[in-house]
């Protein structure tokens, strides 16, 4: 049985391969029929033909190069040259067709004249406009799935990472840029929010293949499309549950080759550098903190000490260091140059580009070191797309892209370096001791903790990263009109390789401090130092490798038919498979290729462009499920109605030129439990591993234990049911367009590790996964655009988009708690648990508490306690200025049962962007604002000051605190106390609403001015056109949160900040 199945499979595979090569044989037989249209007029000059010349321009009078001109129904044609001129020999009375991508076709009947100057109208908001859909394109009017599209020609941003470009520009995108570190600044992106705990990242396709997209040069991208609802993504089945982003790189175009060069150079600075308090402010606060703890506690710093610091005469003994300034430069640099050539004939078109990106970071280097640890990131990209029309019915598209990127970083991660600057207060020790020209790193901790931030940044060695990637794809499209008119076959094979390595040259030097502060200097005035922690000045070496290989294959049939001009049928069937392996796999399970496989089909029907119906289905297999459950079917259907195309609408067309309603409903599946290599896989197979965490010592030898890493579990697909109701409207002669979508998603059978629903006494070594969760998401997204040409010289564009997505748990697999507020059900998947802070104790409250405490026990039991017993401390320990918590269950004490779910986490529920462009003659000005709302985070670290050892730095807003002299409720910090064993710190530093801070913001994301240089200047240096531009990125940020850039993924400000950049660039074509 098994053999015969295998045999059968082999035959089928063979058949499919034949199918892929079928078009090649067609090529072989049809080559005779192929002519280069550009040569036709030279080869076939016939006496009865007439020579026609002309110039083809757009509406602005700009010549159009590469316009196809064909004599009707004869294989005779040509294209325009770079000046828009053409000549062709045609029969008198013939029709000449003029066609050019992005423009309306035009036809001229050849009469007596021999000169035909044609003006082609640009296609704007027209019915024939196409949009990208899953595995293809569709006429925009009949595409009823919810999607949004960004043409990259509209966008210019000085950023290496494409993901940062999308935020604020596309509806449906929820995103945050978590760090601005060069080479690592890609944003986290989701589509319509996070509705599953299992890696909610969308599927990202570059030229049809799942690929990372951040390292593609934005200049090489033609368009970005986001598919949001089930109807749009069902065909991706397994991979489409979290939405799909489709990126298309620039294809070749017909026309004389044009060289285009874009160069910019700019400066970066931090959007918001964390400001720490200086030494004096720090010491005053530290003294108050220790004073607040009551009698018996020292003031940490004596008056003399503070005065000496203020005087600054002995900066080694009495330092006052601004660690951030010692470590970070104010400015860094970024530059990019992209040069591309694009052109081609009717038969073959190409796009090829090279680009170089370079960015430096803001960390300082130490000139004493023999190496350079300054942050630097260089990337070289190449992209080539070749589109060849092999025969009139056969097309081959070949794409090759690649890059190599080099990074140089300090030995420690920037996050560690930032942490260092905050763990050490400004008066702890100086930046450096220099004795006889030798550097001695100051440090006082006997175990090397509370490291010297400057040494961490500049003297811990360096890291070099290298990453390269080559991705290639070849597609063959064969029209099968000979079988069935309107039928096309297409097959694609893609192969990508990536490899990356990191080399870490690290060291950690000894630290020194005064042997005795009472006797700090020797007779010569040199400091008497002693080693406090022993390190080494020699570099050690460490390395890591990563990377992946992927191959992908798809083959599809597409069928299109228009019957009697009214009934339009469209059908597609596709087979796909993907195979991917990782270099860094460390065990068998990780080393097994990650595979997905599926077939999908789509059928659409429209009648007279008024009524639309669409049916999609995906049939997909996933590796995590047993054979009988491996394949899932995911159908989706949609209907649409273009009211404005109804006859009765004619009277309204003046104002409402277009109105369409859409509704889709369908299912999409998900099978993975995460996005990383180490996710649990093949859950239907029992898997054990030898594990030293489960071992023991017998005799003298340690034995690794056996651990079950995956108990055999039979699971099913996680299924998202998505509904989308959309409205598209265009007003005022199409000048204003608006799209709004209401959406709702129900996700069931969420794959979760059953940590919360299986009891601890079962003693499982590995908790099985189950189809146990359920979530719900509702939201709206939409965008508008208003375009107005005021006159010949001036045009205006306004744009805006907004996404609101609210996901919540319906069932998170955690059994009901005693108190309803403790259940996360009904709250966001990213919300967090904490206490409700009601304010600060006033002195009158404390007096009330004290008079109650001294009551005799008998009386106490008759009177109610004035305040609930706070967590971690007893009531007698609270002081004025401490945080009061809400006793949710009224049991007189604050404990875990008084925690409730707060906020919705740091993934914003609302993302929006808006901006405008004004074109006036050669000048163009554009602005884009981007914002988020409903994002919040518990802040911690040194924002809760004097915690841990108490020795960390404090933020510069430390004076905004409760104190006896400022007994205000409206302060940032409650009463200060020193050290984490301080009772008030234990009370005040719990996760509560007090520390839950609103991280929403609005920022001027880009501001751009460009000027097109006059044509006469360009012509002198034989440029076709040229423009200069200035850009600003992240120029202003408005936010309630002031201590650091609210977009960063940090609760304490220790991330490398996002950057503000100022850029000047030049762009020219020839």
Site for another protein in 577-616 (CB under 8 A): 577, 588-589, 592-593, 595-599
Identify the residue among 3, 303, 816, 970 touching another protein (CB under 8 A): 816
Query: Using the rule CB under 8 A, is 980 a contact of another protein?
Result: yes
Identify the residue among 60, 304, 761, 792 touching another protein (CB under 8 A): 761
Residue with tokens 């325009």: 80
Query: According to CB under 8 A, which residues from 503 to 522 bind another protein?
Result: 515
Query: Using the rule CB under 8 A, is 757 a contact of another protein?
Result: yes
Residue with tokens 């990127």: 405
Nearer to another protein, 128 or 534 (CB): 534
Contact 83, 65 (CB under 8 A): yes
Query: Using the rule CB under 8 A, is 9 a contact of another protein?
Result: yes
Nearer to another protein, 485 or 543 (CB): 485
Cα distance between residue 456 and residue 432, in whole Å: 12
H/E element, 53: strand 49-57
Query: Using the rule CB under 8 A, is 222 a contact of another protein?
Result: no
Identify the residue among 291, 301, 433, 631 touching another protein (CB under 8 A): 631
Query: Using the rule CB under 8 A, is 817 a contact of another protein?
Result: yes
Query: According to CB under 8 A, which residues from 165 to 204 bind another protein?
Result: none
Nearer to another protein, 793 or 896 (CB): 896
* Least distance to another protein, CB of residue 1061, Å: 39
Query: Using the rule CB under 8 A, is 706 a contact of another protein?
Result: yes
Identify the residue among 242, 713, 775, 828 touching another protein (CB under 8 A): 713
Cα distance between residue 1038 and residue 931, in whole Å: 9
Cα distance between residue 442 and residue 451, in whole Å: 9
Identify the residue among 495, 505, 663, 682 touching another protein (CB under 8 A): 682
Identify the residue among 762, 854, 965, 1016 touching another protein (CB under 8 A): 762
Nearer to another protein, 357 or 989 (CB): 989
Judged by CB under 8 A, the number of residues near another protein is 103
Query: Using the rule CB under 8 A, is 484 a contact of another protein?
Result: yes
Alpha-carbon distance values, 843 to 49, 199, 851 (Å): 104, 49, 12
Contact 1046, 999 (CB under 8 A): yes
Query: Using the rule CB under 8 A, is 676 a contact of another protein?
Result: no
Contact region with another protein (CB under 8 A), list: 123-131, 808-816, 908-916, 1059-1067: 808-816
Helices (H), 36-160: 37-43
Query: According to CB under 8 A, which residues from 530 to 559 bind another protein?
Result: 530, 532, 534, 555, 557
Query: Using the rule CB under 8 A, is 1 a contact of another protein?
Result: no
* Least distance to another protein, CB of residue 957, Å: 25
* Least distance to another protein, CB of residue 181, Å: 29
Q: Using CB under 8 A as the criterion, what x/- string covers residues 29-58 for binding another protein?
A: ------------------------------
Nearer to another protein, 111 or 699 (CB): 699
Nearer to another protein, 450 or 909 (CB): 450
Nearer to another protein, 590 or 1051 (CB): 590
Contact 346, 77 (CB under 8 A): yes
* Least distance to another protein, CB of residue 817, Å: 6
Contact region with another protein (CB under 8 A), list: 239-247, 386-394, 752-760, 1050-1058: 752-760
Angle between helices 279-291 and 303-311 (to 10 degrees): 170
Query: Using the rule CB under 8 A, is 981 a contact of another protein?
Result: yes
Helices (H), 536-647: 588-591
Neighbour tally for 624: CB within 10 Å: 23
Query: Using the rule CB under 8 A, is 335 a contact of another protein?
Result: no
Residue 467: closest CA among 497, 496, 495, 501: 501
Query: Using the rule CB under 8 A, is 449 a contact of another protein?
Result: yes
Query: According to CB under 8 A, which residues from 686 to 705 bind another protein?
Result: 686-690, 693-705
Query: Using the rule CB under 8 A, is 15 a contact of another protein?
Result: yes
* Least distance to another protein, CB of residue 508, Å: 14
Query: According to CB under 8 A, which residues from 1026 to 1055 bind another protein?
Result: none
Identify the residue among 450, 509, 548, 906 touching another protein (CB under 8 A): 450
Nearer to another protein, 314 or 686 (CB): 686
Nearer to another protein, 48 or 816 (CB): 816
Residue 36: closest CA among 89, 91, 75: 75
Q: Using CB under 8 A as the criterion, what x/- string covers residues 870-889 for binding another protein?
A: -xxxx--x------------
Contacts for 267 with CB less than 8 Å, ≥ 6 apart: 331, 332, 333, 334, 1061, 1062, 1063
Residue 457: closest CA among 369, 540, 359, 532: 369
* Least distance to another protein, CB of residue 777, Å: 26
Contact 288, 879 (CB under 8 A): no
H/E element, 515: none
* Least distance to another protein, CB of residue 185, Å: 33
Contacts for 970 with CB less than 8 Å, ≥ 6 apart: none
- What is the token pair recorded at 142? 């009949």
* Least distance to another protein, CB of residue 764, Å: 6
Contact region with another protein (CB under 8 A), list: 128-136, 149-157, 649-657, 757-765: 757-765
Long-range contact pairs involving 784-787 (C-beta distance under 8 Å, separation at least 24): 784/736, 784/737, 784/738, 784/739, 785/736, 785/737, 786/735, 786/736, 786/737, 787/735, 787/736
DSSP state string for 610-632: TEEEEEEEEEEEETTS-GGGSEE
Cα distance between residue 159 and residue 150, in whole Å: 17
* Least distance to another protein, CB of residue 731, Å: 43
* Least distance to another protein, CB of residue 688, Å: 4
Contact 777, 745 (CB under 8 A): yes
* Least distance to another protein, CB of residue 699, Å: 4
Query: According to CB under 8 A, which residues from 889 to 908 bind another protein?
Result: 895-896
Residue 450: closest CA among 437, 458, 439, 441: 441
Neighbour tally for 232: CB within 10 Å: 33
Query: Using the rule CB under 8 A, is 297 a contact of another protein?
Result: yes
* Least distance to another protein, CB of residue 1043, Å: 25
Query: According to CB under 8 A, which residues from 375 to 434 bind another protein?
Result: 428
* Least distance to another protein, CB of residue 588, Å: 6
Cα distance between residue 187 and residue 269, in whole Å: 18
Contact region with another protein (CB under 8 A), list: 107-115, 720-728, 850-858, 948-956: 948-956
Long-range contact pairs involving 841-847 (C-beta distance under 8 Å, separation at least 24): 841/867, 841/878, 841/879, 841/880, 841/881, 841/882, 841/883, 841/884, 842/880, 842/967, 843/880, 843/967, 845/880, 845/884, 846/878, 846/879, 846/880
Contact 397, 251 (CB under 8 A): yes
Nearer to another protein, 598 or 1046 (CB): 598
Query: Using the rule CB under 8 A, is 310 a contact of another protein?
Result: no
Query: According to CB under 8 A, which residues from 246 to 285 bind another protein?
Result: none
Nearer to another protein, 102 or 705 (CB): 705
* Least distance to another protein, CB of residue 876, Å: 9
DSSP state string for 245-266: EEEEEPPP-SEEEEEEEEEEEE
Helices (H), 31-132: 37-43
H/E element, 511: strand 511-514
């Amino acid at each position: 049985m098994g053999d015969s199945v295998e045999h059968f499979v082999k035959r089928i595979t063979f058949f499919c391969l034949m199918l892929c090569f079928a078009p090649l044989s067609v090529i072989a037989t049809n080559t005779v029929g192929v002519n280069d249209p550009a040569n036709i007029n030279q080869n076939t000059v016939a006496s009865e033909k007439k020579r026609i010349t002309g110039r083809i321009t757009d509406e602005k009078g700009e010549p159009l190069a590469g316009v196809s001109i064909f004599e009707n129904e004869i294989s005779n044609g040509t294209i325009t040259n770079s000046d828009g001129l053409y000549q062709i020999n045609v029969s008198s009375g013939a029709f000449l067709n003029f066609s050019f991508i992005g423009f309306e076709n035009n036809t001229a009947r050849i009469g007596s004249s021999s000169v035909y100057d044609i003006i082609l109208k640009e296609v704007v908001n027209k019915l024939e406009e196409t949009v990208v859909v899953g595995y293809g394109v569709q006429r925009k009017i009949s595409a009823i799935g919810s999607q949004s599209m960004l043409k990259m020609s509209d966008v210019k941003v000085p950023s290496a990472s494409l993901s940062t470009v999308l935020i604020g520009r596309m509806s449906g995108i929820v995103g945050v840029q978590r760090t601005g570190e060069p080479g690592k600044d890609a944003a986290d992106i989701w589509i319509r929010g996070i509705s599953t705990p299992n890696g909610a990242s969308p599927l990202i396709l570059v030229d049809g293949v799942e690929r990372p997209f951040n390292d593609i040069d934005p200049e090489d991208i033609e368009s970005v499309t986001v598919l949001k609802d089930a109807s749009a993504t069902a065909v991706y089945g397994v991979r489409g549950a979290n939405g799909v982003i489709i990126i298309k790189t620039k294809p070749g175009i017909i026309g004389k080759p044009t060289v285009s060069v874009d160069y910019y150079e700019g400066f970066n600075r931090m959007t918001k550098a964390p400001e720490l308090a200086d030494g004096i402010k720090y010491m005053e606060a530290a003294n108050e903190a220790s004073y607040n703890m009551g009698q018996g506690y020292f003031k940490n710093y004596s008056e003399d000490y503070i005065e000496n610091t203020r005087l600054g005469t002995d900066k080694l003994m009495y330092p006052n260091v601004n660690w951030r300034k010692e470590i970070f430069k104010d400015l860094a640099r970024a530059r990019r140059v992209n040069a591309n050539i694009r052109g081609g004939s009717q038969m073959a078109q190409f796009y090829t580009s090279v680009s170089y990106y370079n960015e430096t970071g803001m960390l300082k280097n130490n000139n004493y070191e023999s190496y350079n640890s300054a942050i630097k990131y260089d990337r070289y990209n190449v992209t080539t797309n070749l589109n060849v029309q092999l025969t009139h019915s056969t097309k081959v598209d070949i794409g090759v892209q690649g890059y190599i990127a080099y990074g140089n970083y300090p030995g420690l991660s920037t996050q560690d370096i930032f942490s260092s600057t905050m763990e050490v207060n400004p008066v702890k020790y100086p930046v450096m001791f220099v004795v006889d020209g030798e550097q001695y790193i100051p440090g006082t901790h006997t175990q090397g903790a509370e490291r010297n931030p400057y040494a961490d940044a500049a003297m811990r060695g360096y890291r070099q990263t290298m990453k390269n990637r080559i991705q290639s794809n070849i597609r063959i499209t064969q029209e099968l009109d000979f079988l069935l008119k309107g039928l096309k076959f297409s097959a694609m094979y893609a192969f990508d390789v990536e490899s990356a390595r990191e080399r870490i040259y690290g060291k950690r030097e000894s630290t020194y401090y005064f042997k005795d502060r009472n006797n700090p200097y020797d007779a010569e005035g040199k400091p008497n130092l002693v080693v406090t922690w022993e390190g080494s000045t020699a570099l050690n070496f460490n390395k890591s490798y990563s990377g992946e290989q992927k191959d992908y294959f798809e083959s599809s049939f597409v069928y299109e038919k228009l019957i009697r001009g009214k009934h339009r049928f469209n059908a597609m069937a596709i087979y796909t498979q993907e195979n991917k392996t990782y270099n860094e796999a460390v065990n068998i399970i990780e080393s097994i290729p990650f595979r997905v496989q599926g077939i999908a089909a789509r059928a659409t029907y429209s009648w007279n462009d008024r009524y639309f119906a669409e049916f999609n289905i995906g049939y997909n297999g996933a590796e995590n499920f047993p054979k009988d459950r491996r394949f899932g079917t995911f159908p989706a259907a949609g209907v649409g109605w273009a009211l404005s195309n109804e006859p009765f609408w004619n009277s309204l067309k003046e104002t409402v030129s277009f109105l369409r309603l859409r509704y889709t409903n369908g299912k999409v599946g998900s099978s993975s439990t995460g996005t990383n290599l180490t996710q649990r896989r093949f859950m239907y197979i029992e898997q054990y591993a030898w594990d030293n965490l489960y071992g023991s010592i017998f005799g003298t030898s340690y034995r690794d234990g056996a651990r079950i890493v995956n108990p055999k579990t039979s699971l099913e697909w996680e299924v998202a049911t998505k509904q989308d109701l959309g409205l598209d409207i265009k007003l005022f002669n199409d000048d204003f367009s608006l799209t709004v979508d209401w959406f709702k998603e129900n996700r069931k059978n969420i794959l979760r590790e059953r940590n919360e629903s299986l009891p601890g006494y079962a003693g499982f070594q590995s908790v099985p996964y189950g189809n146990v969760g359920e979530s719900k998401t509702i939201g709206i997204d939409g965008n508008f655009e208003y375009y107005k040409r005021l006159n010949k010289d001036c045009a205006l564009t306004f744009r805006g988009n907004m996404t609101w997505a609210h996901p919540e748990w319906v069932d998170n697999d955690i059994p009901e708690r005693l108190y309803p507020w403790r259940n996360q059900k009904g709250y966001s998947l990213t919300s967090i648990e904490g206490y409700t802070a009601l304010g600060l104790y006033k002195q009158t409250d404390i007096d009330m508490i004290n008079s109650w405490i001294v009551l005799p026990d008998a009386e106490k039991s008759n009177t109610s306690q004035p305040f609930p017993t706070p967590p971690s401390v007893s009531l007698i320990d609270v002081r004025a200025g401490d945080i009061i918590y809400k006793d949710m269950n009224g049991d007189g004490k604050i404990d875990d049962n008084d925690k409730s779910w707060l906020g919705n986490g740091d993934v914003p529920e609302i993302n929006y962007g808006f901006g405008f462009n004004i074109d006036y003659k050669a000048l163009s000005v554009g602005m884009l604002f981007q914002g988020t709302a409903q994002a919040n985070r518990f802040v911690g670290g040194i924002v809760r000051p004097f915690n841990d050892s108490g020795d960390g730095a404090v933020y510069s807003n430390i004076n905004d605190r409760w104190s006896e002299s400022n007994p205000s409720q409206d302060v940032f910090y409650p009463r200060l106390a020193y050290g984490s064993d301080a009772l008030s710190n234990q009370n005040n530093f719990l996760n509560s609403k007090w520390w839950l801070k609103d991280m929403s913001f609005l920022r001027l994301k880009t501001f751009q001015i460009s000027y097109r240089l006059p044509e006469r200047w360009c012509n002198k240096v034989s440029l076709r056109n040229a423009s200069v531009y200035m850009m600003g990125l992240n120029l202003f940020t408005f936010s309630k949160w002031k201590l650091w850039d609210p977009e960063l993924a940090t609760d304490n400000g220790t991330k490398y900040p996002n950057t503000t950049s100022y850029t000047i660039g030049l762009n020219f074509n020839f």
